[in-house]
Amino acid sequence: MKTSIRLLGLGLLLGLLLPTGAQAQFTFTTNADNTLTITGYTGTNPVVIIPDTTNGYSVVSIGSYAFYDTIVSSVTIGINVTNIGDNAFYTCTNLNSMTIPNNVISIGNLAFNYCPSLTNVTIPDSITSIGFATFDWTGLTSVVIPNSVTNIGGYAFYFCESLTNVTIGNNVNSIGYAAFASCANLLGVYFKGNAPSVITNTFNGNDTFSDDTNTIVYFLPGTTGWGALFGGLPAVRWNPQVKNDASFGVRTNRFGFAITGTTNIPIVVEACTNLSGGAWTPLQTCTVTNGSIYFTDPAWTNHPTRLYRLRSP
């Protein structure tokens, strides 16, 4: 299928042969280095594939408001894109699937603001900063922020009412005002690194987690800067360990082990059969009640090798 694309920087009208299955129409501008920025989407197909190149020109950026208030439901971004502009997908209420490649280094302010159908998005480890209100009102259920990120902007995940848990990488050193405020169902925020600074509102105090009445902050042993509270929330050391004692191993037609740690910290026990690429399967989600819990695997005899690990929910 062919469609016309006007490359404003060149002043030419070119015929664009779209990738198979893309079924999309884009408008572009050319950059000084002869790369392209998508400025708009005029297609009717909600499933969008952003190409790596067009007529030999690399597509390197999604411009501000490029997909604003469009019908898109699924977007796969080409591998040459390094920047997603401000408000790029703002008010895309049907957007439920987003693939962001590892080359993206910048996601602009309000880029996915008010995308209530977007429940899952992978933030690649090329990202160093999450902008202001990037995922504000976005339908996310869980968030893993990679170690590459150093700053989380204000209102970044504000009013994500479906959000239940967040894992924050070990290089985040600053969290903006109200970044996780009004996340009513947020239960746990798991920090891998030292306690970051938080932006304080002069009039209301620290509202980073305002109205998150059910949330507990968890931090790892050996990290610094933590107290009994963080951002007004209780802060607890997350330190589960498998206890190598008389309860460990095969005992009367069962295999199991005791897990100890801070009272009531949540854990997930997973198993796999091959460390070099085998999938980890969740076996049990539980809390370390009174500082200890005994885990047993009824399926341990079904596998020649069975490996276990503990992780946060």
Give the separation between CA 249 and CA 60, rounded to whole angstroms: 54
Which pLDDT tens digit goes with each residue over 227-280?
A: 999 988 999 999 999 999 888 988 777 889 999 999 999 999 999 988 887 799
Geometric angle at alpha carbon 238, from 234 and 242, rounded to 5°: 150
Q: Which CATH number fits domain 241-311: 2.70.70, 3.30.1370, 1.25.40, 2.60.40?
A: 2.60.40
- Length of the chain equals 313
**How much is the pLDDT for 299?**
87
Other residues' Cβ atoms within 10 Å of the Cβ of residue 291: 12
Q: What is the pLDDT of residues 99-117, one digit of tens each?
A: 999 999 999 999 999 999 9
Helix, strand, coil percentages for the chain (3-state, nearest 5)? 0, 35, 60
Q: For residue 301, what is the DSSP state?
A: G
152-172 burial, b for 16+ CB within 10 Å, e for fewer?
bbbbbbbbbeebbbbbbbebb
pLDDT, residue 8, reads 32
Q: What is the pLDDT of the chain when averaged over all its residues?
A: 88
Indicate the pairing of strand 266-272 with strand 281-287: antiparallel
Torsion of CA 110, 116, 119, 125, to 10 degrees: 0
CATH number for the domain whose boundaries are 1-118: 3.80.10.10
Where along the chain do the CATH 2.60.40 domains lie? 241-311
Q: What is the pLDDT of residues 122-142, one digit of tens each?
A: 999 999 989 999 999 979 999
CATH 3.80.10.10 residue ranges of the chain are 1-118, 128-238
pTM: 0.86
Record: fold of 128-238: 3.80.10
- Within a 13 Å sphere around the CA of 290, how many CA atoms are in the beta-carbon half? 3
